């Protein structure tokens, strides 16, 4: 028995930098540093733990990290490899520029099928688009069950079980493999790459794929194939500096006056 | 006029406020057709019709509760095929977004999530989004397929617009995938008696500055004086001072109330991502340099344990 895990990781602009749009209303990637989406570190961590317990149970396990993104996205793969993943796949193609969620899910699904999988692990949402839709889209495209937004999960005996903290209730979910899961930042701190891990990552294989390798038509991806279109993007005017008072005993009264003036009390 | 499908979010027939907001927004695009799944349709029909539903398609089956997401996708797809709507609107909850995601793949239609406003022009629906922690406002549209749009709570004020909608059965055939993910147990969240965080008009949040679980009583007292919901920063949640279900931010709830009060919260980008679209922002923080002050309409530099109790008393006195 062997457990093949694919972890989807996204390369995103650093949220603490100034994120801007380019003229075609896609992300201006020249302007800001990119990195592995922090929320995908939790996905890598859970994959590592699942692989570790599979190996403890005498099973073989292999983790492939997968990204769809520009050349620099290799940085995200390196980070995941240095955390302990075994190999990486990078889908890169000029025609991918401006791909929407539907297109991204198509490319990811094709790549996942190309790699071969028993379990796909995603983050709960990217830190840029933050749509939180890709895992469900992948499950639909791959025709496998989804168990998403898990804060706790176990994979054993060909079944994934986990806890999903929903808006109104906490649920326990169970699904047969192959399946797609996504994990939240409550699932457990992600490990830091060790020096050994960083050195080892340099020797791990990274497979590069383009649209042709995946037998995908360029018409279906990129800005051309996108089923959504951004019409405008305007920088929100900086909030006009509000009034700030220092409390010297009067702060509460002054704040109450403001709230009353705004009709909140 | 074109019809617009609205997925109804409800708890055993009690329709949640975001759905009423959706019905209000849907009327800008066409005639709202509500899709009600699960038990309690009769209880819900009145309020849905009152808010503009011209038709109410209902389906009930154990699959909706016993299996995750996909049964509802099957139902919405059936409703889509029956109605051929101009758009499908869903609430931007975790579940709403995932139903929307799978429906978009099935229909090969574009999807827009977390819209904060909707309008229409000669090419169809236009959605406004607030992105990059609210640093940008974008407008976008779906160019192919049926526009599938999820809308954040508090994006509109529910307006009554009585319509003729009565419950009519929707025929749903579940596909093989419907039973793929079993819900083996469900524990409903205990009600605090306070308004729902994402729906509340006022939210009072506490952060690391609150200093301990018992001190959250200070936050709760202020919230209660204002009829507000209680929120918390991730630092407060991670410390175990308040339940995760109350976390505001990128990986918690995204809130957009009329008034947001941040007490003892520094204003990290991940926190801002969940509250920056609040209409009015107030902060109490003892550090004048805290980044939260860059966002505020009114800020008090001071100790929250001095300011909040006095404020609570003052509010109670003014409200008489
Ligand atoms: C500000 C902004 C707004 C956008 N709005 C829309 C919109 O309304 N509609 C639309 O169709 N597109 C939109 N896009 C484009 C969309 O973000 C991308 O197509 C994206 O790759 C998928 O959505 P997401 O990043 O929100 O991912 P999410 O669905 O939030 O990602 C969840 C998980 O999927 C995996 N994942 C996501 N992307 C990749 C990737 N490229 N490689 C590997 N794994 C990945 C990761 O595990 C991630 O944690 C937007 C992009 C931006 C930057
Ligand atoms: C992937 C990721 C996701 C995240 N998601 C979220 C999220 O969803 N929500 C979130 O909130 N954070 C999130 N964070 C964490 C975020 O980066 C910050 O660490 C967090 O918001 C800090 O919480 P805080 O402001 O309460 O604490 P701190 O930054 O420690 O600030 C405490 C503040 O309290 C003030 N203070 C102390 N004592 C008093 C007093 N007596 N009176 C008044 N003021 C006082 C201090 O001056 C300080 O400004 C995320 C981080 C990551 C990496």
Domain architecture of chain B: domains with CATH? 3-179 (3.40.50.620), 202-319 (3.40.50.1220)
The stretch A138-154 carries a mean pLDDT of 98
Q: What is the reported pLDDT for A30?
A: 75
In a domain, A41, yes or no: yes
> Could you identify the atom of ligand 1 that is nearest to the CA of residue A27?
53
> Could you identify the atom of ligand 2 that is nearest to the CA of residue B211?
38
Our count of domains for chain A comes to 1
Q: What is the reported pLDDT for B251?
A: 95
Cα–ligand 2 centroid distance for A263 (angstroms): 29
Q: Which domain holds residue A209?
A: 2-225
The answer, yes or no, to whether residue B191 has pLDDT greater than 90, is no
In a domain, A258, yes or no: no
Q: What is the reported pLDDT for A1?
A: 66
State which residue of chain B sits closest to A244, comparing Cα positions: B299
CB atoms within 10 A of CB A104: 25
In a domain, A265, yes or no: no
**Inter-chain touch B143–A227, beta carbons under 8 Å:** yes
State which residue of chain B sits closest to A262, comparing Cα positions: B280
In a domain, A170, yes or no: yes
In a domain, A246, yes or no: no
Q: What's the CATH code of the domain at A157?
A: 3.40.50.620
Contacts of A146 in chain B (CB under 8 A): 68-70, 98, 180-181
Q: What is the pTM of this model?
A: 0.97
pLDDT category of residue A170 using cuts at 50, 70 and 90: very high
pLDDT category of residue A239 using cuts at 50, 70 and 90: confident
Task: Report whether the peptide linkage leading into residue B130 is cis, meaning its omega lies within 30 degrees of zero.
Answer: no
CA A198, A199, A201: angle at the middle one, nearest 5?
65
B121-170 pLDDT, tens digit per residue, is 999 999 999 998 888 999 999 999 999 999 999 999 999 999 999 999 99
> Facing residues of A36 across strands?
A11
| Residue B65: its H or E element | helix B63-66
pLDDT category of residue A152 using cuts at 50, 70 and 90: very high
Give chain A's length. Answer: 265
The stretch A149-156 carries a mean pLDDT of 97
Rounded Cα gap, residues A190 and A246, in angstroms: 40
The answer, yes or no, to whether residue B7 has pLDDT greater than 70, is yes
**Inter-chain touch B301–A226, beta carbons under 8 Å:** no
Residues with Cβ within 6 A of ligand 1?
A 8-10, 27, 37, 39-40, 43, 66-69, 99-102, 104, 108, 122-123, 125-126, 128-135, 228; B 111-113, 131-132
In DSSP notation, chain A reads -EEEEEEE--EEE-TTS---B-TTSSB-TTSS-EEE-HHHHHHHHHHHHHHHHHHHTT-EEEEEEEEES-GGGHHHHHHHHHHT--EEEEE--GGGTT--HHHHHHHHHHHHHHH--SEEEEESS-SSS----HHHHHHHHHT--EEEEEEEEEEETTEEEEEEE-SSEEEEEEEESSEEEEE-TTS-PPPPPPHHHHHHHTTS-EEEE-TTTTT--GGGSHHHH-SEEEEEEEEPPPPPP-EEEE-SS-HHHHHHHHHHHTT--
**Binding-site sequence positions of B:** 208, 233-234, 247-251, 264-271, 285
B48-107 pLDDT, tens digit per residue, is 999 999 999 999 999 999 999 999 999 999 999 999 999 999 999 999 999 999 999 999
In a domain, A21, yes or no: yes
pLDDT category of residue A150 using cuts at 50, 70 and 90: very high
Q: Which of A100, A101, A133 to substitute to test the interface with B, most B CBs within 10 Å?
A: A133
Rounded Cα gap, residues B250 and B240, in angstroms: 18
A175-207 pLDDT, tens digit per residue, is 999 999 999 999 999 999 999 999 999 999 999
Q: In chain B, positions 14-33, which contact chain A (CB-CB < 8 Å)?
A: none
The answer, yes or no, to whether residue B272 has pLDDT greater than 80, is yes
The answer, yes or no, to whether residue A225 has pLDDT greater than 80, is yes
Cα–ligand 2 centroid distance for B292 (angstroms): 10
Cα–ligand 1 centroid distance for B23 (angstroms): 27
pLDDT category of residue A26 using cuts at 50, 70 and 90: confident
Do B19 and B44 touch, CB atoms closer than 8 A? Answer: no
A212: CB partners within 8 A, 6+ apart: none
Radius of gyration in angstroms for the set of CA atoms belonging to chain B, rounded to a whole number: 21
Cα–ligand 2 centroid distance for A108 (angstroms): 35
């Amino acid at each position: 028995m062997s457990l093949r895990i694919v972890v989807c990781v996204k390369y995103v602009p650093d949220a603490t930098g100034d994120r801007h749009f380019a003229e075609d209303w896609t992300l201006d990637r020249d302007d800001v540093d990119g990195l592995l989406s922090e929320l995908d570190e939790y996905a890598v961590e859970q994959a590592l733990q699942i692989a570790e317990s599979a190996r403890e149970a005498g099973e073989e396990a292999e983790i492939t990290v997968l990204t769809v993104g520009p050349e620099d996205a290799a940085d995200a793969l390196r980070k995941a490899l240095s955390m302990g993943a075994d190999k990486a796949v990078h889908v890169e193609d000029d025609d991918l520029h401006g791909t929407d969620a539907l297109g991204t899910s198509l490319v990811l699904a094709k790549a996942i099928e190309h790699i071969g999988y028993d379990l796909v692990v995603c983050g709960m949402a990217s830190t840029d688009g933050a749509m939180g839709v890709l895992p469900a889209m992948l499950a639909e495209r791959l025709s496998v069950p989804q168990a998403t937004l898990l804060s706790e999960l176990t994979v054993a005996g060909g079944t994934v079980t986990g806890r999903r903290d929903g808006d109104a209730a906490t649920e326990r979910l169970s699904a047969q493999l192959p399946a797609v899961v996504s994990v939240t930042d409550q699932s457990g701190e992600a490990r830091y790459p060790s020096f050994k891990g960083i050195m080892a990552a340099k020797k791990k294989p990274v497979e590069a794929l383009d649209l042709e390798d995946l037998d995908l038509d360029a018409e279906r991806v990129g800005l051309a194939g996108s089923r959504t279109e951004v019409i405008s993007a305007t920088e929100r005017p900086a909030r006009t500096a509000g009034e700030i008072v220092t409390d010297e005993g009067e702060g509460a009264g002054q704040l109450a006056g403001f709230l009353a003036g705004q009709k909140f009390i | 006029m074109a019809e617009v499908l609205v997925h109804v979010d409800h708890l055993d027939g009690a329709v949640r406020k975001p759905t009423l907001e959706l019905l209000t927004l849907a009327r800008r695009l066409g005639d709202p057709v509500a899709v009600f799944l699960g038990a309690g349709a009769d209880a819900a029909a009145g309020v849905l019709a009152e808010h503009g539903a011209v038709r109410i398609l209902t389906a009930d089956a154990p699959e909706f509760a016993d299996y995750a997401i996909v049964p509802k996708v099957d139902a919405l797809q059936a409703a889509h095929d029956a109605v051929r709507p101009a758009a499908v609107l869903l609430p931007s909850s975790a579940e709403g977004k995932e139903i929307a995601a799978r429906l978009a793949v099935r229909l090969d239609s574009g999807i827009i999530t977390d819209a904060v406003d909707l309008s229409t022009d000669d090419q169809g629906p236009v959605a406004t989004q607030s992105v990059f922690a609210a640093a940008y406002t974008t407008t976008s549209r779906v160019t192919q397929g049926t526009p599938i749009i999820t809308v954040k709570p508090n994006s509109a004020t529910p307006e009554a617009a009585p319509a003729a909608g009565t419950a009519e059965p929707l025929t749903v055939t579940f596909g093989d995938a419907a039973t793929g993910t079993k819900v083996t147990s469900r524990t409903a969240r205990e009600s605090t008696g306070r308004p729902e965080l994402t729906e509340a008009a006022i939210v009072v949040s506490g952060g690391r500055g609150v200093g301990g679980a018992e001190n959250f009583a200070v936050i709760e007292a202020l919230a209660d004086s204002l009829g507000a919901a209680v929120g918390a920063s991730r630092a407060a949640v991670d410390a175990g001072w308040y339940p995760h279900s109350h976390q505001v931010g990128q990986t918690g709830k995204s809130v957009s109330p009329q008034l947001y009060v941040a007490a003892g919260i520094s204003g990290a980008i991940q926190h801002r991502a969940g509250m920056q679209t609040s209409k009015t922002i107030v902060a109490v923080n003892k550090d004048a340099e805290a980044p939260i002050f860059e966002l505020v309409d009114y800020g008090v530099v001071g100790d929250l344990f001095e300011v909040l109790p006095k404020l609570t008393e003052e509010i109670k006195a003014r409200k008489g």
